[in-house]
Amino acid sequence: MLPYVYLVAGLFVLMFTGDLLVRGAVGVAERLGVPAIIIGLTVVAFGTSAPELIVSMRAASEGAPGIAIGNAVGSNIANVLLVLGLPALFRVTECEEDGTIRSSLFMLAVTLVFIALCMHSPLDRLDGLVMLALLAFFVVDSVRTGLRHRARRARAVSEIETIDGVTGVPRSPWVTSTFLVLGLLGLPIGATLTVDNAVLIARDWGVSEAAIGLTIVAIGTSLPELATTLMAAIRREGAVALGNVIGSNIFNILAIMGGTAVLFPLEVPQAILDFDLWALLAATVVLLPFALAHIPINRWVGAVMVTVYVGYIYLVFQMGAA
């Protein structure tokens, strides 16, 4: 039972310390006078992807590419079907956020580029640099667009505030420093617990490391997005959910896979090439009508999404045990 306990502990540490890192980083950016839109598109986006990034790099460095790639691919599939589908069971998710049309088309383009690069496995340093270049283009373009359409948000006077959707941002230098240190120290610890015990569980179950990365690890590292979207639905702020998922999916591919491939060549497992990449593409295409036509995600659509995701998990384990 210890590997299961350590795996859950690792995922908890990743979520907790990743949250501290985001809040601390946003606090630093605020003290430096960085506009809120830039914080949201850079610091927050990178910070919320930190658990996935650390897990993938750790897995790649230890010769477990299935977990490294499965984590990113599985997280993107979970973001669409689970993170958007589950909250819709409780309240309709509106899809009227500005900028989602442009971002969703870029997400589709990024997904197609990623699939093409994977087909020439392994993902090497050149592939990683291509993805990081696309990431730089996306961030710069998003910041320019945001600065043209959004005035800088006035600072709150409280000690702990909300900045660009991130709650509990510290204004005290000591609290900010504490958050950053705990985040930077805790993420590698959480990643070690998660990856090492995910490998042990995969061997114990007789399934592939890719299957564990695509399911348990991917769901675990997607829990922050799921919790955020659920709270947004409860607070009737579901309009931001679609944009958050699109941004997260773009960063999962470009930042996580790009950064990992620059440091460690990644051999793409055959199962991911044969099935999961196409499941990723299908999930991406499914998302497009909601973003392009601003179609709300109602309870029935959410139920279908969650059902499809459960079916996907079942197939992954069936094929992983084959």
Domain ranges in the chain are: 2-320
How far apart CA 266 and CA 289 sit, in angstroms, is: 33
Mean pLDDT of 136-163: 60
Question: For 173-187, what is each residue's pLDDT tens digit?
Answer: 888 888 878 877 777
pLDDT confidence of 39, banded at 50, 70, 90? Answer: low
Residue 152 has pLDDT above 60, yes or no: no
Task: Supply the pTM of this predicted model.
Answer: 0.78
Residue 238 DSSP SS3: coil
CB 266 within 8 A of CB 68: yes
H helix runs in the chain, sequence order? 2-31, 36-38, 45-48, 50-61, 65-78, 85-88, 100-118, 125-149, 173-205, 209-212, 218-234, 239-251, 258-263, 270-271, 277-292, 299-320
Question: For 67-79, what is each residue's pLDDT tens digit?
Answer: 889 989 998 999 8
Q: pLDDT value at position 128?
A: 95
Q: pLDDT value at position 273?
A: 93
Q: Which of 16, 62, 54, 73 is nearest to 219 (CA)?
A: 73
CATH code reported for the domain at 2-320: 1.20.1420.30
From residue 283, alpha-carbon distances to 98, 109, 112 in Å are 21, 14, 12
Residue 64 has pLDDT above 60, yes or no: yes
Lowest mean pLDDT among 19-33, 139-153, 238-252: 139-153
How far apart CA 94 and CA 72 sit, in angstroms, is: 26
